Structure 1
């Protein structure tokens, strides 16, 4: 009888402990850097992201922290985190850039959204960080964009990659401002393009300027660099009621379940053991 009681107690304790062990197994820490100023569409996206990611953190047992202080881009601070997110901008100071480059070269993981890859000569964000734009992202500087923010049909380019597991071959995205880049990523052997704009999207954009409407071409929107634990996602620009000088939000990036699945897949992939395919 005493043995049976001890067995039942042991079983009860095991049942209590098992969920916490499972949670710890998936545990990793994410830090999201953001600026959240100037462009209302980017401010809207950052606010939305900082509401959506904590919900995923609870569901999938990881920690999600945020900072708008880019001076935290230093070795000591970064050592506390397994995944870094750039929600909108990028580090600008040389010491911040060196810290991020070393973090990535020593096994850190990163996911960047939309404006985090922007670089244009004689702008607030000049093309003056060769490692980041030419080697790490591979895209080079900004070329042009569609306007206004519109949905696109996106096509999976690497169906066996774990990040697109469970995604349909094509799907309609949330509205977004889409970027064209200076470099052709298809010519870079280090780059795996995961999603591109499908030709059924054309014409893409509404203008009013003619160059803001795309009628043809190849436009990658999600890719990874095989030399690093990283993913770039072009989405991250909500539609705003610009015409009426209003801050009213007309679309939301995280209102699209297929996109959400991709981002969730990416976080779990970056935060866990990297698998081959």
Structure 2
């Protein structure tokens, strides 16, 4: 009788342990605030990105909350997240409380950051002055021009050992992209992970800048951060290299402090 009781208790404890582990495994590893433009030139990309993000989040039990403006972003709301995804949202029109909270979030490593495409639209746009802190965050660059007719381009990986570049080929082609140019290369101020080979543009373009980084991180900030230029066409999500890149970036950046 005693042996049966001991066996029963062990089974109950094992079951409780397994249940507890199952519960913990469903705790979101990634809790992300996703800021995106609900309109304009890049809405099709944002909609497709949302579908992809939601599909991965469902499989991996991530928590994703979407914002279409910065009205509700402040110290308190941002504290709920370990990742900030700036999904084709420019570095202007932000409310003062959001600006203050975001700067503190990145400078103190309270969470990670991934910026896509429109996040480097730095300059004076729509009557807004350039955001000095964000200018420095992105390597002290200013938007200069872009390829309005779009072009395919070959991305060349420079730091294959970086977690964001894990399982990516040495080169991969991105179709139908705008390929921004800046007033200077951010390379002296950031860690470049990949660049675009401007000679590979199809069709060819004169909108070039020589050294042309397209994926980089700013190691001077406490937060893990990565900027990924490519983010114009919704068809990017049919590109296995691109989705692997984003997946890697989310896992790495959500680790918060370096």
Instruction: Give the TM-score category using the shorter length.
Output: 0.7 to 0.9
1:226-252 Cα deviation digits (max 9, x unpaired): 1232111111111xxxxxxxxxxxx51
Structure 2 residue 217 is matched with structure 1 residue 224: yes
Query: Which residue pairs with 2:68 in the alignment?
Result: 68
SS of residue paired to 1:166: coil
Cα pair distance change 1:74/1:274, threshold 3 Å: closer
Structure 2 residue 115 is matched with structure 1 residue 120: no
Instruction: Give 1 or 2: higher strand fraction.
Output: 2
> For 1:1-277, what aligned pairs fall within 5 Å after superposition?
1-24=4-27, 27-39=29-41, 42-89=42-89, 90-92=91-93, 93-107=95-109, 108-121=111-124, 123-124=125-126, 126=128, 128-133=130-135, 135-188=136-189, 191-198=190-197, 202-206=199-203, 211-212=206-207, 214=208, 217-228=210-221, 229-238=224-233, 252-272=235-255
**Do the aligned partners of 2:83 and 2:256 also contact (CA within 8 Å) in 1?**
no
Q: CA deviation at 1:139?
A: 4.5
Output the CA distance in 1 between the equivalents of 2:122 and 2:256.
32
Q: CA deviation at 1:37?
A: 2.1
Cα pair distance change 1:119/1:126, threshold 3 Å: farther
Q: CA deviation at 1:261?
A: 1.0
Cα pair distance change 1:139/1:112, threshold 3 Å: same
Q: CA deviation at 1:12?
A: 2.9
Output the CA distance in 2 between the equivalents of 1:16 and 1:174.
46
TM-score, scaled relative to structure 1 = 0.81
Where do 4+ consecutive residues of structure 1 move more than 4 Å?
Answer: none
Q: CA deviation at 1:274?
A: 5.2
Question: What is the RMSD of the two structures over their aligned residues, measured on CA atoms?
Answer: 2.3
TM-score, scaled relative to structure 2 = 0.87
Q: CA deviation at 1:186?
A: 2.2
**Do the aligned partners of 1:31 and 1:83 also contact (CA within 8 Å) in 2?**
yes
Cα pair distance change 1:16/1:94, threshold 3 Å: closer
Gaps of 5+ in 1: 239-250
Cα pair distance change 1:70/1:99, threshold 3 Å: same
SS of residue paired to 2:231: coil
Matched pairs, number: 250
**Do the aligned partners of 1:70 and 1:91 also contact (CA within 8 Å) in 2?**
no
**Do the aligned partners of 1:114 and 1:237 also contact (CA within 8 Å) in 2?**
yes
Gaps of 5+ in 2: none
Cα pair distance change 1:179/1:127, threshold 3 Å: farther
